[in-house]
Amino acid sequence: MDEGLAIVLAMVGSMIVVPILITYFILHLFIKSKQASLVSAIFGLAGAFVVGFMIPIKDKEGLVSIIVSSTNSEIVGYVITLGVLSTVIGLGVHTIYKRIK
């Protein structure tokens, strides 16, 4: 495998898998259900991508871009920001689901 491709796959994998794992464990503390925590974490990450990248906050940049530009390491900024956003959105998804059900 090409070395550049391996680095790109590792970065993309860590940007998707690590925030889902962080969100899953945090949500599992609150929700106490493995299945509901996993579903909320996945929907939360999808919502975090929308909120973090597509909604402009300052100078037509999203929240993730602003936080990453203020950190020393790009990958850490992405993982932390997406993890926190997906946790908050995942809690919201679970709360809405419980009220509908």
Q: Which residue has 């956003």 as its token pair?
A: 85
Tokens representing residue 95 in the block: 């709360």
101 residues of the chain, pLDDT tens digit each: 577 888 888 887 888 888 888 889 888 898 888 888 888 988 988 888 888 888 888 888 888 888 888 878 777 788 888 888 888 888 988 888 888 87
Q: Which residues contact 96 (CB under 8 A, 6 or more apart)?
A: none
Query: What are the boundaries of each domain within the chain?
Result: 3-100
Q: In this structure, what are the phi and psi dihedrals at residue 9, rounded to the nearest 5 degrees?
A: -65, -40
pTM of the shown model: 0.75
Longest dimension (CA), the chain: 49
